[in-house]
Amino acid sequence: MQTNTTFAVIFYTRKSRSNAEQLNIFARITVNQKRSEISLKRCTLLREWDSNKNRARGSSYKTKGIKLKSCV
Determine, yes or no, domain membership for 1. no
Domain count of the chain?
1
The larger pLDDT score, comparing residue 67 to residue 66, is at 66
Q: List, for residues 27-58, the tens digit of each pLDDT value.
A: 999 999 999 999 988 888 888 888 888 777 87
Determine, yes or no, domain membership for 59. yes
Domain that holds residue 56: 7-67
Q: Rounded to two decimals, what is the model's pTM?
A: 0.71
pLDDT bin (cut points 50, 70, 90) of residue 71 is low
Q: List, for residues 5-31, the tens digit of each pLDDT value.
A: 899 998 888 888 888 888 888 999 999
Determine, yes or no, domain membership for 31. yes
Determine, yes or no, domain membership for 62. yes
Q: Provide CB contacts within 8 A for 60, sequence distance 6+.
A: none
Q: Provide CB contacts within 8 A for 66, sequence distance 6+.
A: 25, 42, 43, 44, 56
Determine, yes or no, domain membership for 36. yes
